[in-house]
Copies of this chain bind each other. A is one copy, B any other.
Amino acid sequence: MEIIFLGTSSAMPSNHRNHSAIALKAFGEIMLFDCGEGTQRQMSRVKVSPMKVDKIFLTHFHGDHLLGLPGIIQSMAFRGRKEPLHIFGPDGLSELVECIKKMGYFALSFEIHAHELKNGVVLEEDDYIVTCCNTEHSVPNLSYCITEKRAPKFLRERALACGVKPGPDFGKLQRGIPVKVGDVTVNPEQVLGKERKGLKIVYSGDTRPCDQMVEFAKDADLLIHESTFDNRNESKANETGHSTAAEAAEIAKKSGVQKLILTHISTRYKDASTLESEAISVFKNTVLADDFMIFEVKRNGRN
């Protein structure tokens, strides 16, 4: 699993930070989380093609998180895309997509499916589940969680002891299908270990620190949390529905996550390393995101 930070600014872009967008390369797919203005150009810089993106998740409908959508959609059409595009987001998404379709002349060559979400499971694929959670911003905001579905360990010695021969039957048992050894049925639970926790990644979108985020991010391998301000601007964060670096770090600490990455940085911080230091004083394993930073999510030796 690889996370590419395509844009790490807040409302206004700076010379070094573009508007919010994150690409997740995992499960043979590239998914986008938020899509601020200029995202297609940021993608081109890291050689990630929009043509490979089938799912875009929007946290909320502020321009700095969505105004790259019309450009990406038109570029996909320009290149003759045929595969449908799935866009996920809060209530109002369908209307937004209808508006996007009217932004100038272009021939839409593929279907766009707009999925308006409620708290809970967004989608379940063979390899992963995406869930979402309402948080507290000035407008409705959804945080997203991607959890890897991980097969239990296959206990090879036990399978051999049951008389199963290495080959296709091993594969069937690993996929949860019983097999026959002579007249005896060998069931998967006989040869599979206990459930294994898959990787879990949570992205906050824009939010005040809140209890539901603590619960939602519980034991995540990675929490990507907004950190628009530093603690000297806590009242500003409170007014505008954002978090400070220290508040993001408190959430990370309470959730027991492995790692915290700060993003959505106000342009007022020319050197945002102060935000990183502020968070580290609360939660050690913190990194400040920069545009084009690539982060590989690993199990860190966990079974």
Contact = CB atoms under 8 A, between A and B. Distances in A.
B15 A45 contact: yes
B105 A139 contact: yes
A69 to B, nearest CB: 9
Contact of A15 (B44, B61, B78, B105): B44
B37 A40 contact: yes
A67 B103 contact: yes
Interface string A258-282: 0000000000000000000000000
B13 A44 contact: yes
B106 A63 contact: yes
Interface string A6-50: 000001111100110000000000000000011011001100000
A74 B41 CA distance: 20
A152 interface: no
Given A103-B99, A104-B62, A18 B41 contact: yes
A57 to B, nearest CB: 15
Contacts of A100: 103
A68 interface: yes
Main secondary structure on A side of the interface with B: loop
Given A13-B40, A45-B15, A99-B99, A63 B67 contact: no
B62 A67 contact: no
Contact of A103 (B15, B18, B19, B66): B66
Nearest to A95: B102
Contacts of A94: none
A188 interface: no
Contacts of A75: 11-12
A198 interface: no
Interface in A56-103: 60-63, 65-68, 70-71, 74-75, 78, 95-96, 99-100, 102-103
B44 A104 contact: no
Contacts of A40: 13, 37
11 contacts: A12-B44, A12-B75, A13-B41, A14-B44, A15-B45, A37-B41, A37-B71, A61-B105, A67-B103, A67-B104, A96-B102
Interface of A: 11-15, 18-19, 37-38, 40-41, 44-45, 60-63, 65-68, 70-71, 74-75, 78, 95-96, 99-100, 102-106, 139
A-B pairs, 5 with minimum CB distance: A61-B104, A38-B38, A63-B74, A37-B71, A13-B41
Given A13-B41, A37-B40, 19 more contacts: A11-B75, A12-B78, A15-B45, A18-B41, A37-B37, A37-B38, A37-B68, A38-B38, A61-B105, A63-B70, A63-B71, A66-B104, A67-B67, A67-B71, A67-B103, A70-B70, A95-B102, A96-B102, A96-B103
